[in-house]
Amino acid sequence: MDFSEWFSNILEMAGIYDVRYPIKGCGVYLPYGFKIRKYTFEILRELLDKTGHEETLFPLLIPETLLAKEGEHIKGFEDEVYWVTHGGKTPLDVKLALRPTSETAIYYMLKLWVKVHTDLPIKIYQIVNTFRYETKHTRPLIRLREIMTFKEAHTAHATKEEAEEQVREAIEIYKKFFDTLAIPYLIIKRPEWDKFPGADYTIAFDTIFPDGRAIQIGTVHNLGQHFSKTFEIEFETPTGDKDYVYQTCYGISDRAIASIIAIHGDERGLVLPPIVAPIQIVIIPLIFKGKKEMVEEKAKEIAERLKSYRVHIDDRDIRPGKKYYDWEIKGVPLRIEIGPKDIENKKITLVRRDTLEKIQIDEDKLEEEISKILKDIYENIKRRAKERFESFITITNNLDEAKNILEDKKGIVLIPFSEDIYKEDIEDKVEAKVLGETEYKGDKYIAIAKTY
């Protein structure tokens, strides 16, 4: 089965996301998918909150006059903007854009909030839906027209150095976020022609999906004073002079969810890192004639002992095999099977989702063993993901070879860095995209890949 088909099947079978909504590039998060999304973005929220970012909420609508203010920015987005042109039957005086991202909405307000250096820095973020009329092939959770989960952070600083420092902090936050999700990445500085519209430079996080295609899963932009000059976000410096603020912004989307699914899943379905699993442990009572009550009692007792986890007892009146199958598709990290024999022997049988290995433990060591195994599941899926990622990375300085690899197994090809490389139309030569400059095991390279 090819990857796209596998991915679509999983979204449906695991109850994550329904693609049948009648607008291209839009879909519906189902309850199970919504929970994965919730736990995933809670990790990011926590990382942002504890580094002094504050959550805010700006309007979805942006007047054309604001959106068009920064020249490069609007040029980068003009083909992707959805417009609201009417209120009922009345044409609007000023067209309203559905935000493709919120720089212009937020920076209009920053001008009102920032007067003097003591008002700085400002570090805010919001998690909202944004709209982009994508012309490339749309894909569920990967290339959306309504990006349902767009976390955008925006910061303003008194000096260029502080903005640089903020870029470093943002990179650290995103590293922690993707490490927690066991998603491997390269951090790549985009070439001039591919930076965010209105940025001085753009640093991207790229991972690789099982089909070998690279995907941008997050970006950090140093905006310099581009926007602050157009939006006149001016402040009084400690010496009484006037200066424009230095800005950064950084974003992560539903692609984080797509990555968890794509990178850890296997032929049986989802494999979730325990930290984002809506159910971390499922308990399956194995009912035998005359022993029903005893097994059900034990299941409840075990659930009670494990209540610091997200535990679910599956007491549906169907065959255990069907239950195993259902929870494997949903990627529940650990399954506990409870039967009369185990109860008599004071044993507990566990099955790990990542390896499908069956493990017997002593009942009195339950808490300690479960905690160890869940940690081990995380370590194991992280190692597995990293190994596959590494196997997709090829170093070569031969462009013909690069082209062949990118056609064949794909992945990311690294070419030893030289300024000249940029001048050689490599994109045409290798029929792939230059992702930009990166460091890999201590050396500098230009990364090239077929992308999503």
Q: How far is residue 306's CA from residue 302's CA, in Å, rounded to a whole number?
A: 6
Q: Does 17 bind ligand A5A (CB under 6 A)?
A: no
Q: Does 106 bind ligand A5A (CB under 6 A)?
A: no
Amino acid 114 reads V
Q: Does 185 bind ligand A5A (CB under 6 A)?
A: no
Q: Does 67 bind ligand A5A (CB under 6 A)?
A: no
Per CB under 6 A, which of residues 280..339 are in contact with ligand A5A? none
Say which DSSP state 37 is in: H
Q: Does 217 bind ligand A5A (CB under 6 A)?
A: yes
Give the interface segment with ligand A5A, choosing from 110-118, 164-172, 249-257, 383-391 (CB under 6 A).
249-257
For residue 141, the minimal CB distance to ligand A5A (Å) is 7
Q: How far is residue 262's CA from residue 303's CA, in Å, rounded to a whole number?
A: 30
**In this chain, which of 218, 265, 278, 436 binds ligand A5A, going by CB under 6 A?**
218
Q: Does 216 bind ligand A5A (CB under 6 A)?
A: yes
Q: Does 147 bind ligand A5A (CB under 6 A)?
A: yes
Q: How far is residue 308's CA from residue 289's CA, in Å, rounded to a whole number?
A: 32
**In this chain, which of 68, 95, 152, 223 binds ligand A5A, going by CB under 6 A?**
152
The radius of gyration of the chain's CA atoms, rounded to the nearest angstrom, is 25
Nearer to ligand A5A, 178 or 324 (CB): 178
**In this chain, which of 255, 323, 382, 410 binds ligand A5A, going by CB under 6 A?**
255
**In this chain, which of 37, 95, 123, 132 binds ligand A5A, going by CB under 6 A?**
132
| Residue 335 contacts residue 351 (beta carbons within 8 Å) | yes
Interface size with ligand A5A, residues (CB under 6 A): 20
Q: Mention every residue, 6+ apart, whose C-beta is less than 8 A from residue 1.
A: 9
Amino acid 405 reads I
Q: For 29-59, b where at least 16 C-beta lie within 10 A, e where not — what string?
A: beebbbbbbebbbebbeebbeeeebeeeebe
Q: Does 166 bind ligand A5A (CB under 6 A)?
A: no
For residue 83, the minimal CB distance to ligand A5A (Å) is 17
Nearer to ligand A5A, 221 or 264 (CB): 221
Q: Does 222 bind ligand A5A (CB under 6 A)?
A: no
C-beta pairs of 198-205 under 8 Å, 24+ apart in sequence: 198/70, 198/72, 198/73, 198/76, 198/103, 198/223, 198/226, 198/227, 199/223, 199/224, 199/226, 200/224, 200/226, 203/167, 203/171, 204/435, 204/436, 205/174, 205/178
Q: Does 253 bind ligand A5A (CB under 6 A)?
A: yes
Q: Mention every residue, 6+ apart, whose C-beta is less than 8 A from residue 379.
A: none
Q: Under the rule (CB under 6 A), what is the footprint of ligand A5A?
A: 101, 103, 132, 134, 143-144, 147, 152, 196, 216-219, 221, 249-251, 253-255
